[in-house]
Amino acid sequence: MNRAPASVWRRPVHFLAFGMGSGSVPFAPGTFGTLAAIPFYWLLSELPLGWYLGLVTVTFFWGIWLCDKSSRDLGVHDHSGIVWDEFVGYWLTMAAVPFSWDTALWGFVVFRVFDVFKPWPIRWADRRVAGGFGIMIDDVLAAAYAWSTMHLWFWLH
């Protein structure tokens, strides 16, 4: 575990990369980062699907820069406190999922399972893809698994 630097509270780019400070929690920062993404999903869920997907796409590409910049500034590739990737991964997981607190929690659990256990090709990407894109892509892949699980569950019920 890497301790959150003081710059998280002084530099806007670090503050955002650290999920508005949620990644500075000394244990399970990815879990707390994902939890911090839920209220934003609640707000985003009111958007038409096209706008939702467009906004999440923008946050993905912006996240590549944000995570790369923070990672370089801190001198640590994928510092455990950088959780912007969890924000975007969670939002992708919840795409086209009607908001309720039950679905928000279910999506949180499903996304965290795939993000933590990293089935192929998530683990491969996590280990081999560098920079801001590398920080973001493993969470996008975890989100693809989680999104599929969520929608399969809805289809079956």
Could you tell me if residue 43 is inside a domain?
A: yes
- How many structural domains compose the chain? 1
Residue 15 is part of which domain span?
A: 6-156
- Note whether residue 115 is domain-resident: yes
- Per-residue model confidence as pLDDT tens digits over 41-71: 999 999 999 999 999 999 999 999 999 999 9
The answer to whether residue 128 is domain-embedded is yes
The sign of the dihedral angle between the CA atoms of 19, 20, 23, 29 is negative
DSSP-derived secondary structure letter, 7: G
pTM of the model: 0.94
pLDDT of residue 10: 80
> Which of 139, 8, 1 is closest to 73 using CA atoms?
8
| Sites in the chain below the pLDDT cut of 70 | 1-7
- Does residue 1 belong to any structural domain of this protein? no
